Structure 1
Amino acid sequence: MQLTFASYNIHKGIGLDRRRDPERIINVLNELGADIIALQEADRRLGRRAAVIPRQMLAEHHWQLVPLAARSESMGWHGNAILVRRGVDILDAEPITLPTLEPRGAVCARLRVDGRIMRVVGMHLDLSGLRRRHQIEAICSHMARGAEPSILMGDLNEWSNRKGALRAFGPEWNVLAPGKSFPSRRPLARLDRIVISPEWRCVSQQVHHSALAAIASDHLPVSAALQLPA
């Protein structure tokens, strides 16, 4: 079985032209051709924390929203949301509590695709290196409770290519490096990552750098095509 996973910090839908444009974000998501997408900054930060992309718009473009929102008008939890294409079964979902001083978080969904069960985590980690390491440790501890093939992805805010807080994942995780994704106009840093458990084989990985993605957010999306053995 081969699936494409993607992660995208949509910057609350505000592009480099300073316009909030949910339809533009949807168009970038459609360009990715992904089966499962983790979004960061998917809700507005103030007030009612309303979703950046209307639910009806998601449905019209054949996306299912994993139910994680603590507020009725939100998409996710602390701005973290997970979208899956139609045909993917959502078994359950929950937030992962992280040690933090600012509104950061992670979410976990248990999914079934063609009879195979997997867990997917979306995350947006702290700007502080020490805090990031503690957050990664908390996520890994949460994932140790199950044995399903797993994918962790999101904006890790880690500028180091292989060291720094990334070492907290340990040898049981494979940290992919699709490429430089921030800032979107002229990328310098690999802030957005996909991390996989040993069951997965990475077929390909990339940064999606289309003309539309270059202005839709301050981050570019990253994606990976992954295979599970029969």
Structure 2
Amino acid sequence: MKLRIASYNLHKCRGLTGPHAPERNLKVIAEIDPDIIALQEVDFRFGARPEALPRDMIEEMTGLVPMQMRTTGETSLGWHGQAVLLRPELACQAVMRRLPLPGLEPRGALALRVAGLTLIGVHLGLARSSRRRQLARLAAKAGRLSGDAVMMMGDFNEWRGDRGLESLDSLHVFAPGPSYPAPMPQLRLDRIAVSSRITVTASGVGDSALARRASDHLPIWAEIRLS
């Protein structure tokens, strides 16, 4: 089984300063052409948390569909601002769980199981103490799935490579390249962690001219093979 997996923090589809233009983010996703993509900040932050990424535009512009789940609010696309898009033929066989996470601010992760893969999409907290607690919980979850191919992907909000990730010693953790801030990327905030059953055959950052305008993060991607 070979899959192209991606992650993208949309920054509520408003680029760095606005205006709200979700068609730009959808074009960036289409450029990457993933089988599955974990998204962060798909909803506006306040009030009823309405969708910033309109669901009625997704399939037409990318060929992907959002994984159905119980969202934050009635008009939200995601849960804690996170959602997963995937190809329709994968969506019909996928199962997703929400994973609440500890920390100073409300956070959660999404665990998708499909085609022999458990993909955990994350958007970790701003404080390193919170991130450490969140990663410890996710690592324990991954440990209970030791027979599965496990992949964790998303906005780790961790700019250091030598601290904060200690809980993930059982996984191979890497960043494909600098992804933040998008106009002049310097920091490797967006990362990937994989278990031994996954071989990463290629990875990269979606660093196109459009991607540098569409969000404050650039998307990351990886092509994987499941053993």
Q: Per the shorter chain, which TM-score range?
A: over 0.9
Q: What is the Cα deviation at residue 47 of structure 1? A: 1.4
Among 104, 108, 112, the alignment partner of 1:105 is: 108
CA shift for structure 1 position 17: 4.6
Equivalent residue, structure 1, for 2:98: 95
Matched residues in 2 for 1:107 and 1:165: separation?
21
Q: TM-score, normalised by structure 2?
A: 0.94
Residue 57 of structure 1 aligns to a residue whose secondary structure is helix
Which of 192-201 and 101-110 deviates more? 101-110
Deviation by residue 1:67-125 (Cα, 9 ceiling, x = unmatched):
2324221111100111111211443211111111213221111113xxxx211111111
Aligned residue in 1 for 2:120: 121
* Matching residue of 2:19: 19
Q: Which residue of 2 aligns with 1:66?
A: 67
Q: Give percent identity, aligned residues only.
A: 39
Matched, 1:143 2:146: no
Asked if 2 retains the 8 angstrom alpha-carbon contact of 1:129 and 1:164, the reply is: no
Partners of 1:67 and 1:76 within 8 A in 2 = no
Amino acid at match of 2:79: W
| 1:24 alignment partner, SS class | helix
Query: Is the Cα–Cα contact under 8 Å of residues 66 and 90 in structure 1 kept in the other structure?
Result: no
Q: Partner residue of 2:131?
A: 132
Aligned to 1:36: 36
Provide structure 2 residue ranges, at least 5 long, that are not aligned to the other structure: none
* Matched residue count: 223
- After superposition, the CA RMSD in angstroms is 1.3
Q: Deviations over 1:167-222 (max 9, x none)?
A: 2101x201122000000011110000111111111111111100000010000001
Distance (Å, rounded) in 1 between the aligned partners of 2:32 and 2:95: 25
1:5 CA drift (Å): 0.8
In structure 1, what is the Cα distance between the partners aligned to 2:33 and 2:13?
19
- Aligned with residue 207 of structure 1, among 205, 223, 226: 205
Query: Runs ≥4 in structure 1, deviation > 3 angstroms?
Result: none
Q: Which AA in structure 1 matches 2:3?
A: L
CA distance in 2, matches of 1:220, 1:152: 17
Q: Is the 8 A contact 2:49 2:72 kept in 1?
A: no
Amino acid at match of 1:136: L
Q: Does 1:195 align with 2:196?
A: no
Q: Indicate conservation of the 8 Å contact 2:101/2:108, yes or no.
A: yes
Distance 1:201 1:159 in 2: 25
Looking at structure 2, the residues matched to 133 and 119 of structure 1 have their Cα atoms a distance apart, in angstroms, of 21
Greater shift, 32-41 or 145-154, is seen at: 145-154
Where 1:142 maps in the other structure, the secondary structure is helix
Q: Distance in 2 between matches of 1:90 and 1:50?
A: 27
